[in-house]
């Protein structure tokens, strides 16, 4: 059971999901303690071939049609067999026949090609679905149907007016992203670009903006944390900071456009595995970018692939000099979100703060990098009911990665091991030694931010400290063992 549980964790599979393990030749093999060790040259392939039936309406319907659960049926049979043996002294033929049918059903589950619950009823001749190992209940990349469904909803909403109350709420760090669907989020992103006067200032055609946002939506993957909703939260926090600090009167419009576009694009095509994994696993991205911020370089590249196409190029009416400046700025901002550069960027910002000059390009560049960094890791500045679900998503993504690292024999990334990390232990050091110092330096330049982003973060620190104490009272040894070092990065 321990081996099965390890594989189930690695695949982020539910208790009733069915796994298949393939050897390097593509043959199905049993998951058992006697497995030969993995090696870089001969990797096993783990696949979730049937998700929990009860997680989807159709699955629930099929589960009802089957009318039983295999494991519970086995238990009932064992109980019945004991009663019959006690009464009759031998196992009747009918019970033996039932046991035989259960064994046959299990064998069918383990050997049916392209298995899913639908596989018993539907021809899957188009080929096996290859789910992501860390988010298997949806395909990693968005399907065409998924994108078209959202596109239709956006077009239906294009004639609707956004209320003044919503426009004002959108400018605050307390905004609750969980209330909004993806289509509505795209409309809100359009509202932000419009209300900052980008449409008129840079002659951005509404159709181009809409097409750009569709492409951005399509290129954010179905993963627990670094998804389209995260992109929205980072952009909305950046938007809020622009209004709270009156940056419209301190920076040029083109700088604001750079920051907002960078926020929208900053995690494009993230697959849920951080830079440490990319480098240790020697992935294509790590090889392409020579181990230098492979993810952030990829996010930039995908952004400019989208902007390369005329129909989704929101900068197509700008001069070449303006485009060059925007491209340079976006690259700087997105590359600044690599947390391995955190201390370098923060120390440079601190060094210019005493004599900060909004007309000095170096000072402005540092401020823009700090603003996107703050926006990227700003969840704990939001109300607890908004922030805590994001921590659950983040830990799910972290645990998925560490499970895969264990299976592949790679170094396990710090602060990602589900056996060592708890919710409070993951946040206390991070808030104290990363978030607060960063936020406080920004508040030194903009004192009004104290109440908006620093006070909520202090409350979050108190909340997780109390939670850690409560866990410590229940499991003192575990709590002591899992308390993290202070440098844990929240995102990559």
* Token pair listed for 453: 């982003």
Annotated binding site for Zn(2+): 230, 266-267, 376
Average pLDDT value for residue range 298-323:
98
Annotated binding site: 226-230, 266-267, 376, 427
pLDDT in tens, 254-288: 999 999 999 999 999 999 999 999 999 999 999 99
Q: What is the 3-state secondary structure (H, E, C) of 185-210?
A: HHHHHHHHHHHCCHHHHCCCCHHHHH
pLDDT given for residue 472 in this prediction: 82
Residue 136 scores a pLDDT above 50: no
Spatial separation of the C-alpha atoms in residues 65 and 85, rounded to whole Å: 31
Annotated binding site for AMP: 226-230, 267, 376, 427
* Token pair listed for 323: 């485009």
pLDDT given for residue 129 in this prediction: 34
Contact 462, 470 (CB under 8 A): no
The verdict on whether 299 is a catalytic residue reads: no
Q: What is the pTM of this model?
A: 0.72
Catalytic residue chosen out of the listed positions 211, 226, 270, 299: 226
Spatial separation of the C-alpha atoms in residues 127 and 119, rounded to whole Å: 11
Find the range with the poorest average confidence among 20-29, 268-277, 288-297, 447-456. Answer: 20-29
Q: How confident is the model at residue 34 (pLDDT cuts 50, 70, 90)?
A: confident
Tell the residue number behind the tokens 């709590």, with chain if given.
Answer: 479
Full set of structural domains in the chain with CATH? 172-415 (1.10.1300.10)
* Token pair listed for 180: 């909004």
Residue 485 scores a pLDDT above 80: no
pLDDT given for residue 124 in this prediction: 32
% of the chain residues with pLDDT over 70: 76
**Measured between alpha carbons, how far is residue 132 from residues 13, 225, 351, 375 in Å?**
11, 14, 44, 28
Contact 395, 426 (CB under 8 A): yes
């Amino acid at each position: 059971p321990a081996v099965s549980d390890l594989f189930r964790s690695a695949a982020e599979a539910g208790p009733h999901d069915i796994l298949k393990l393939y050897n390097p030749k593509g043959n199905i093999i049993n998951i058992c303690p006697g497995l030969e060790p993995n090696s870089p040259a001969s990797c096993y392939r783990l696949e979730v071939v049937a998700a929990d039936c009860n997680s989807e309406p159709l699955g629930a319907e099929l589960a009802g049609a089957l009318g039983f659960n295999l494991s519970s049926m086995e238990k009932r049979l064992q109980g019945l067999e004991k009663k019959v043996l006690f009464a009759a002294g031998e196992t009747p033929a009918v019970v033996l026949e039932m046991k035989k049918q259960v064994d046959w059903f299990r064998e069918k589950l383990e050997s049916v090609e392209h298995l899913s619950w639908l596989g018993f009823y539907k021809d899957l001749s188009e080929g096996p679905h290859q789910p992501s190992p860390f988010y298997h209940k949806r395909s990693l990349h968005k399907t065409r149907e998924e994108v078209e469904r959202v596109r239709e909803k956006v077009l239906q909403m294009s004639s609707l007016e956004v209320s003044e109350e919503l426009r004002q709420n959108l400018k605050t760090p307390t905004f609750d992203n969980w209330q909004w669907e993806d289509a509505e989020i795209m409309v809100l992103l359009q509202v932000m670009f419009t209300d900052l006067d980008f449409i008129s200032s840079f002659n951005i055609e509404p159709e181009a903006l809409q097409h750009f946002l569709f492409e951005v939506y399509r290129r954010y993957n179905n993963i627990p944390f670094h998804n389209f909703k995260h992109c929205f939260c980072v952009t909305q926090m950046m938007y809020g900071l622009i209004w709270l600090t009156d940056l419209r009167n301190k920076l040029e419009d083109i700088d604001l456009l750079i920051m907002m576009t960078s926020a929208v694009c900053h995690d494009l095509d993230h697959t849920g595995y951080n830079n440490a994994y990319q480098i240790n696993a020697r992935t294509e991205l790590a090889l392409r970018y020579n181990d230098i911020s492979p993810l952030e370089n990829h996010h930039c590249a995908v952004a400019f692939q989208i902007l390369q196409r005329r129909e989704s190029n929101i900068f197509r009416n700008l001069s070449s000099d303006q485009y060059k400046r925007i491209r340079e700025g976006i690259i700087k901002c997105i590359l600044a979100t690599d947390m391995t550069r955190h201390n370098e960027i923060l120390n440079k910002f601190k060094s210019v703060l005493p004599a900060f000059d909004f007309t000095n390009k170096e000072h402005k560049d540092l401020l823009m990098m700090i603003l996107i960094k703050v926006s990227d890791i700003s969840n704990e500045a939001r109300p607890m009911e908004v922030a805590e679900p994001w921590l659950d998503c983040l830990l799910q993504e972290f645990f998925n990665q560490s499970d895969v690292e264990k299976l592949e024999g790679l170094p396990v990334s710090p602060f990602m091991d589900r056996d060592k990390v708890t919710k409070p232990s993951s946040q206390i050091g991070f808030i104290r030694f990363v978030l607060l110092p960063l936020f406080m330096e920004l508040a030194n330049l903009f004192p009004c931010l104290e109440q908006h982003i620093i006070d909520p973060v202090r409350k979050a620190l108190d909340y997780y400290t109390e939670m850690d104490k409560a866990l410590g009272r229940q499991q003192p040894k575990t709590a002591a063992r899992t308390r993290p070092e202070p440098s844990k990065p929240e995102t990559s």
